[in-house]
């Protein structure tokens, strides 16, 4: 069952990715304006722009260029950046490492924080701790990332100098230095993600805690902690898992704003630059990577749901 | 048990980051590099190739690693750099530059005429694709030749009185003879005060270290310079407040108030630099009537625009590209708002309350605040009965879909010396003739001035041309912006330049 699911999903994923790549190419084509004028800037002559187009084969028809690009990509060659002539793969690889480590850090903060807050809220259902958590999660849901990020920056970097304001990282930094530099953006991301997940988990946990088998376990004298952690929590995780899968994809695709606020050298900043420069090969690579992560995260969430709930495994 | 361990992990991580961090924050500031926060208007390009100097971030790196033949100051006076002296023949058609001896490139070889000839011929070569090719149109590859080992001659067909100034543009940094594009782009093949360390594509922070063999004694002052790009205004503010950067190249207007209160940061202001304004095409109705153009200029309260839009960090303009504060301006005092005068001109041109002048202005924030400028202009013009309809669009698309395509648009031009500023967009054959200003009498004035070796007579010629443009042209210049730099009080030697793309960092140092 699980193997079949994984195989069919992967086949579908390949089709999806090729479709996405064609769409991005088409979008880049129909957007108004001229790539040469974008890349070279305002103070250029038509002669220079023509030279640029010829060098990058931009004067050839769009389907022909897409064909060339697709053929190369399938062989692992993602082409070169229009702007600085560097191989796309090198550019994206380096930034992807940064974004993935930021995402991993945020995720490590997010998972336990969500479990803890949701469990506390459910156990103190309709009492003060629940209300406080509820207000906090609502606030995190309604605050845009850049407001939250800027607020954290001014509190924990300017007022209390605990963390650097800008998340500059470089290879010479130690693990601790890096971790410190990445803390504020990671916390921002974790808070944004946790808002929705805490509410989902709290609701399903309250439902489960109210169910007959939990009451039964309580009545036969199972310790309260064991009831919550062993019996209730795993059964309540289902909906939160789906939210987590969506959050994971948000992490890779949606860190753009957080990276911009903290000047963190990740995929998001690269994507912003690439779009403003109309650097199609780089945009393609980043969006495809985000799409692949999206598909993979959903697949993992489905597999976990199957593992957690034996009832889904029949059939 | 499993659950409890998971709960503890983030707390441990955060705590670890904090303790390590507290010690590391101190360590970072001991590195003794001057940390320079640049800006990036057009998306990071990352190249050290002077021929493709397009963005401000690249500008810092290019300036740090190269030198030009001569340097120029904010009043466009030239001073010796790699050339120790220069002179022209009587007619101004042959200019000879004597090179400084013993100057070493970063690769160790000595500067000779061959390097200079290579640099300029490379810029003129269409294959290089440099914007300098059009700015240097008065030069020909065969007219640039060595004159012995340590001198270079520029021979031109017609006299070029300001040649030393005109070859001092942002692309003319001297590169090593024969250096290929890739080397120039990523290693920097210059003689400059700093060497680049490990230049990586699209890295938003680049490290430059002092060139021990630099030819200017005692310079540069800093051991190393770290150039970064910080885009968000509030992030920039936080970075300088927390001592994470030392110099901000351009403080955004909305954060000036916050920085003014900060004791640890000084604000430095440049002379008027970037021209901002509106342009109309003088061959397109209703702008083909000079009475309409004059009325559109008279409705502006220029000082108010500077006060409201730039919080005073600017200077009024006079409808031509030379700031009234410049010694070369044709008049230093600009008349104030004249609504009655504008109404009279409009009436004479056939407009009235029942048949008002209605125009559409295309606006975009490619320089922050231009849309506000349009809105303020709209209100001022309304006082004289002109109806301005605003069409706003995204900054990223302005230059390839609006500029040079619509008759009434916002504009912005970086600071240029008078001769270049009056020619760049106002000659019949100019690539960027946004106002369609094609006047033989104007060009005759410019040509004559450009061939006049006597400086005061030459400036007189520029003044006549500027007057003609201000009173009859299609460019409306209510103001010039000034660059506001933020410098931490333990640092000295930084001066904001009116040529925004070229920050001077040789004299900067910070005490730790």
* CA–CA dist A190, A113 (Å, integer): 9
Q: Which residues contact A67 (CB under 8 A, 6 or more apart)?
A: none
- Taking every pair of C-alpha atoms in chain A, what is the biggest distance, in angstroms? 85
* CA–CA dist A113, A74 (Å, integer): 40
Eight-class DSSP state of A100:
H
Inter-chain contact A154–B399, Cβ cutoff 8 Å?
no
Give the count of Cβ contacts less than 8 A between chain A and B. Answer: 167
**Is this structure's pTM higher than 0.90?**
no
Q: Is residue A79 helix, strand or coil?
A: coil
End-to-end CA distance of chain B: 49
Inter-chain contact B403–A150, Cβ cutoff 8 Å?
no
pLDDT value at position B201?
Answer: 66
CB A179 within 8 A of CB A187: no
Inter-chain contact B238–A52, Cβ cutoff 8 Å?
no
Provide the CA A179 distance to its chain's centre, in angstroms: 19
The two structure tokens encoding residue B35: 């940390």
Inter-chain contact A44–B131, Cβ cutoff 8 Å?
yes
Residues B294, B397 within the same domain: yes
Inter-chain contact B228–A168, Cβ cutoff 8 Å?
yes
Distances A28 to A34, A266, B176 between C-alpha atoms, Å: 10, 22, 38
Inter-chain contact A42–B21, Cβ cutoff 8 Å?
no
Q: Which of residues 196-235 of B touch A (CB under 8 A)?
A: 200-205, 228-232, 234-235
Q: Which residue of A has its CA nearest to B233?
A: A261
Residues B328, B395 within the same domain: yes
CATH of the domain at B153: 3.90.76.10
Which of B56, B133, B238, B241 is most worth mutating to test chain A (most A CB atoms within 10 A of its CB)?
B238
Which of A39, A40, A43, A194 is most worth mutating to test chain B (most B CB atoms within 10 A of its CB)?
A43
Partner B contacted by A50 (CB < 8 A)? no
| DSSP strand pairing (B247-248 vs B265-269) | unpaired
Total domains in the fold of chain B:
3
pLDDT value at position B43?
Answer: 54
Task: Tell me the chain B residues in contact with residue A113 when contact means C-beta distances shorter than 8 Å.
Answer: 10
Task: Tell me the chain A residues in contact with residue B42 when contact means C-beta distances shorter than 8 Å.
Answer: 41, 276-277
Residues B444, B305 within the same domain: yes
Task: Tell me the chain B residues in contact with residue A165 when contact means C-beta distances shorter than 8 Å.
Answer: 235, 238-239, 241-242, 244
Partner A contacted by B131 (CB < 8 A)? yes
Q: Which residue of A has its CA nearest to B366?
A: A42
Q: Which residues, in sequence order, are bridge partners of residue B88?
A: B95
pLDDT value at position B21?
Answer: 46
Q: Which residue of B has its CA nearest to A112?
A: B7
Architecture of domain A2-32+78-313: Orthogonal Bundle (1.10)
pLDDT value at position B30?
Answer: 40
CB B220 within 8 A of CB B210: yes
* CA–CA dist B139, B450 (Å, integer): 14
Residues B439, B492 within the same domain: no
Task: Tell me the chain A residues in contact with residue B43 when contact means C-beta distances shorter than 8 Å.
Answer: 83, 272-274, 276-277
Q: Which residues, in sequence order, are bridge partners of residue B194?
A: B210
Residues B265, B280 within the same domain: no
pLDDT value at position B28?
Answer: 46
Task: Tell me the chain B residues in contact with residue A270 when contact means C-beta distances shorter than 8 Å.
Answer: 202
Residues B503, B380 within the same domain: no
Distances A275 to A24, A63, A299, B394, B423 between C-alpha atoms, Å: 11, 20, 29, 13, 34
* CA–CA dist B65, B452 (Å, integer): 35
Task: Tell me the chain A residues in contact with residue B235 when contact means C-beta distances shorter than 8 Å.
Answer: 150, 153, 165-166, 261-263
In a domain, B175, yes or no: no
Residues B261, B294 within the same domain: no
CB B462 within 8 A of CB B450: no
Task: Tell me the chain A residues in contact with residue B234 when contact means C-beta distances shorter than 8 Å.
Answer: 150, 153, 261
Q: Give me the residue from B10, B46, B129 closest to A52, CB to CB.
A: B129
In a domain, B39, yes or no: yes
In B129-178 the beta strands, taken as DSSP E runs, fall at 144-146, 151-155
Q: Give me the residue from B200, B232, B241 closest to A260, CB to CB.
A: B232
Residues B354, B473 within the same domain: yes
Q: Which residue of B has its CA nearest to A113?
A: B7
Answer whether the bond into residue B220 is a cis peptide, omega within 30°. yes
The two structure tokens encoding residue B263: 């004791």
In a domain, B53, yes or no: yes
* CA–CA dist B51, B39 (Å, integer): 20
* CA–CA dist B133, B156 (Å, integer): 15
Task: Tell me the chain A residues in contact with residue B16 when contact means C-beta distances shorter than 8 Å.
Answer: 176, 179
From B112, B132, B166, the end of a domain falls on: B166
Q: Which residue of B has its CA nearest to A190?
A: B10
* CA–CA dist A211, A39 (Å, integer): 62
Task: Tell me the chain B residues in contact with residue A277 when contact means C-beta distances shorter than 8 Å.
Answer: 42-43, 45
Inter-chain contact B45–A260, Cβ cutoff 8 Å?
no
In a domain, B19, yes or no: no
* CA–CA dist B230, B486 (Å, integer): 13
Which helix or strand (DSSP H or E) is residue B446 part of? helix B440-450
The two structure tokens encoding residue B383: 């006082």
Answer whether the bond into residue B286 is a cis peptide, omega within 30°. yes
Convert A244-255 to b/e letters by CB count within 10 Å (16 or more is b): bbbbbbbbbbbb
CB B323 within 8 A of CB B336: no
Provide the CA A219 distance to its chain's centre, in angstroms: 43
Task: Tell me the chain A residues in contact with residue B126 when contact means C-beta distances shorter than 8 Å.
Answer: 47, 51
The two structure tokens encoding residue A84: 């600085």
CB neighbourhood size of B73 (10 A): 14
CA angle at B313 for the pair B312 and B318, rounded to the nearest 5°: 85
Per-domain residue ranges for chain A? 2-32+78-313
Q: What percent of chain B is helix, strand and coil (3-state, nearest 5)?
A: 35, 20, 45
Q: What percent of chain A is helix, strand and coil (3-state, nearest 5)?
A: 80, 0, 20
Tell me what ipTM this predicted complex has: 0.77
CB A121 within 8 A of CB A236: no
* CA–CA dist A56, A30 (Å, integer): 18
Q: Which residue of A has its CA nearest to B399?
A: A42
* CA–CA dist A240, B181 (Å, integer): 54
Inter-chain contact B234–A153, Cβ cutoff 8 Å?
yes
Inter-chain contact B10–A109, Cβ cutoff 8 Å?
yes
In a domain, B23, yes or no: no
Q: Which residue of A has its CA nearest to B204?
A: A265
Token match 């995190």: residue? A140
User: Which mean pLDDT values do the consecutive 10-residue runs of chain B (512 residues) have?
Assistant: 43 50 43 84 71 76 94 92 95 95 94 96 89 87 95 94 92 94 87 89 82 93 91 89 92 86 91 94 94 96 94 94 94 94 95 94 89 95 95 85 92 90 89 92 94 92 96 96 94 89 90 87
CB B44 within 8 A of CB B202: yes
Q: Which of residues 132-161 of B touch A (CB under 8 A)?
A: 133-134
CB B167 within 8 A of CB B69: yes
Partner A contacted by B262 (CB < 8 A)? no
Provide the CA B186 distance to its chain's centre, in angstroms: 23
Torsion of the alpha carbons at B270, B274, B278 and B279, rounded to the nearest 10: 140
Q: Which residue of B has its CA nearest to A154?
A: B238
pLDDT value at position B42?
Answer: 56
pLDDT value at position B106?
Answer: 94
SS (H, E, C) B220-244: CCCCEEEEEECCCHHHHHHHHHCCC
Partner B contacted by A165 (CB < 8 A)? yes
Partner B contacted by A153 (CB < 8 A)? yes
Residues B60, B111 within the same domain: no
pLDDT value at position B7?
Answer: 44
Partner B contacted by A115 (CB < 8 A)? yes
Inter-chain contact B244–A81, Cβ cutoff 8 Å?
no
Q: What is the CA radius of gyration of chain B?
A: 25
Q: Which of residues 73-92 of B touch A (CB under 8 A)?
A: none
Residue B309 has φ and ψ, to the nearest 5°, of -85, -35
Reference B433, options B411, B450, B401, B464; nearest CA is B411
The two structure tokens encoding residue B207: 């490290």
Residues B304, B236 within the same domain: no
Q: Which residue of A has its CA nearest to B55?
A: A41
Q: Which residues contact B259 (CB under 8 A, 6 or more apart)?
A: B237, B240, B251, B265, B267, B486
In a domain, B171, yes or no: no
Q: Give me the residue from B25, B238, B400 closest to A37, CB to CB.
A: B400
CATH of the domain at B232: 3.40.190.10
For residue B309, the enclosing domain spans 274-481
Task: Tell me the chain B residues in contact with residue A188 when contact means C-beta distances shorter than 8 Å.
Answer: none
Token match 């006049």: residue? B452
Task: Tell me the chain B residues in contact with residue A265 when contact means C-beta distances shorter than 8 Å.
Answer: 203-205
Q: Could you list the pLDDT tens digit for every one of the 315 residues in chain A? A: 778 878 888 888 889 888 988 998 888 777 766 777 777 767 677 777 888 888 888 888 888 888 888 888 888 888 888 877 788 888 888 888 888 899 899 999 999 999 999 999 998 988 999 999 999 999 988 888 889 999 999 999 989 889 999 888 877 788 888 899 999 999 999 998 898 899 989 998 898 888 888 888 889 888 888 888 888 888 888 778 878 888 877 776 668 889 888 988 888 888 887 887 788 888 888 888 888 888 888 888 788 877 777 776 654
Distance, in angstroms, between A166 CA and closest chain B CA? Answer: 6
Which of B2, B10, B411 is most worth mutating to test chain A (most A CB atoms within 10 A of its CB)?
B10
In a domain, B176, yes or no: no
Task: Tell me the chain A residues in contact with residue B203 when contact means C-beta distances shorter than 8 Å.
Answer: 265
Q: Give me the residue from A42, A48, A164 closest to B242, CB to CB.
A: A164
Q: Is residue B54 helix, strand or coil?
A: coil
Eight-class DSSP state of B500:
T
Task: Tell me the chain B residues in contact with residue A163 when contact means C-beta distances shorter than 8 Å.
Answer: 17, 21
Convert A284-302 to b/e letters by CB count within 10 Å (16 or more is b): bbbbbbbbbbbbbbbbebb
CB neighbourhood size of A123 (10 A): 17
């Amino acid at each position: 069952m699980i193997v079949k699911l994984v195989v069919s999903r992967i086949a579908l994923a390949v089709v999806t990715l090729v479709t996405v790549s064609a769409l991005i190419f088409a979008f880049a084509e129909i957007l108004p304006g001229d790539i040469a004028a974008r890349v070279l800037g305002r103070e250029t002559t038509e002669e220079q722009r023509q030279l640029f187009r010829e060098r990058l084969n931009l004067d050839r028809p769009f389907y022909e260029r897409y064909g060339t690009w697709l053929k190369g990509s399938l062989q692992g060659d993602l082409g070169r950046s229009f702007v600085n002539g560097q191989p796309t793969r090198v550019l994206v690889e380096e930034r992807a490492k940064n974004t993935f480590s930021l995402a991993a850090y945020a995720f490590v903060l997010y998972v336990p924080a969500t479990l803890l807050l949701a469990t506390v809220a459910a156990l103190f259902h309709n009492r003060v701790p629940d209300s406080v958590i509820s207000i906090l999660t609502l606030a995190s849901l309604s605050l845009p990332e850049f407001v939250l990020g800027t607020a954290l920056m001014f509190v924990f970097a300017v007022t209390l100098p605990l963390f650097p304001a800008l998340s500059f990282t470089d290879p010479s930094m130690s693990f601790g230095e890096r971790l410190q530099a990445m803390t504020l953006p990671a916390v921002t991301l974790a808070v944004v993600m946790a808002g929705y997940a805490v509410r989902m988990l709290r609701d399903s946990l309250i439902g489960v805690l109210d169910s007959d088998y939990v009451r039964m376990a309580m009545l036969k004298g199972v310790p309260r902690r064991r009831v919550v952690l062993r019996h209730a929590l795993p059964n309540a995780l289902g909906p939160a898992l789906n939210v987590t899968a969506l959050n994971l994809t948000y992490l890779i695709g949606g860190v753009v704003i957080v990276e911009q606020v903290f000047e963190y050298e990740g995929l998001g900043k690269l994507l912003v630059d690439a779009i403003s420069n109309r650097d199609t090969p780089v945009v393609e690579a980043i969006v495809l990577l985000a799409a692949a992560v999206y598909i993979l995260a959903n697949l993992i969430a489905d597999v976990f749901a199957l593992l957690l709930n034996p009832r889904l495994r029949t059939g | 048990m499993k659950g409890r361990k998971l709960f503890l992990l983030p707390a441990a991580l955060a705590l670890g980051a904090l303790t390590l961090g507290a010690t590391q924050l101190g360590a970072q500031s001991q590195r003794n590099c001057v940390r320079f926060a640049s800006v990036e208007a057009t998306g990071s390009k990352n190249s050290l190739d002077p021929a493709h100097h397009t963005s401000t971030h690249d500008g810092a790196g290019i300036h740090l690693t190269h030198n030009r033949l001569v340097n120029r100051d904010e009043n466009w006076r030239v001073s010796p750099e790699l050339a120790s002296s220069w002179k022209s023949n009587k007619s101004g058609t042959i200019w000879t530059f004597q090179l400084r001896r013993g100057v070493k490139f970063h690769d160790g070889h000595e500067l000779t005429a061959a390097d200079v000839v290579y640099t300029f011929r490379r810029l003129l070569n269409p294959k290089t694709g440099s914007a300098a090719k059009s700015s240097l149109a008065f030069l020909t590859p065969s007219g640039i030749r060595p004159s012995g080992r340590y001198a270079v001659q520029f021979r031109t067909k017609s006299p070029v009185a300001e040649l030393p100034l005109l070859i001092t543009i942002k692309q003319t940094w001297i590169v090593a003879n024969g250096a290929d594009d890739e080397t120039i782009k990523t290693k920097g093949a210059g003689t400059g005060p700093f060497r680049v360390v490990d230049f990586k594509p699209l890295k938003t922070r680049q490290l430059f270290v002092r060139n021990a063999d630099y030819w200017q004694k005692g310079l540069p002052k800093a051991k190393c310079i770290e150039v970064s790009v910080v885009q968000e205004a509030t992030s920039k503010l936080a970075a300088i407040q927390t001592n994470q950067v030392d110099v901000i190249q351009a403080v955004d207007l909305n954060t000036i108030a916050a920085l003014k209160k900060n004791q640890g940061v000084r604000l430095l202001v440049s002379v008027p630099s970037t021209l901002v304004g509106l342009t109309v095409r003088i061959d397109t109705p209703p702008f083909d009537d000079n009475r309409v153009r004059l009325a559109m200029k008279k409705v502006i309260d220029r000082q108010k625009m500077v006060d409201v839009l730039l919080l005073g960090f600017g200077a009024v303009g006079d409808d031509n590209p030379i700031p009234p504060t410049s010694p070369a301006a044709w008049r230093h005092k600009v008349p104030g708002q004249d609504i009655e005068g504008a109404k009279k001109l409009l009436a004479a041109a056939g407009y009235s309350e029942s048949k008002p002048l209605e125009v559409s202005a295309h606006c975009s924030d490619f320089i922050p605040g231009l849309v506000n400028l349009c809105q303020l202009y709209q209100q001022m013009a309304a006082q004289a009965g002109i109806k301005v309809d605003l069409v706003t669009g995204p900054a990223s698309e302005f230059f390839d879909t609006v500029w040079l395509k619509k008759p009434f648009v916002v504009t912005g031009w970086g600071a240029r010396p008078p001769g270049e500023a009056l020619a760049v967009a106002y000659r019949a054959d100019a690539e960027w003739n946004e106002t369609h200003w094609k006047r033989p009498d104007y060009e005759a004035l410019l040509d004559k001035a450009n061939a006049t070796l006597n400086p005061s007579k030459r400036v007189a010629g520029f003044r006549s041309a500027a007057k003609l443009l201000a009173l009859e042209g299609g460019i409306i210049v209510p103001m010039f912006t000034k660059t506001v730099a933020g410098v931490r009080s333990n640092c000295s030697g930084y001066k904001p330049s009116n040529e925004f793309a070229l920050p001077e960092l040789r004299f900067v140092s910070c005490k730790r």
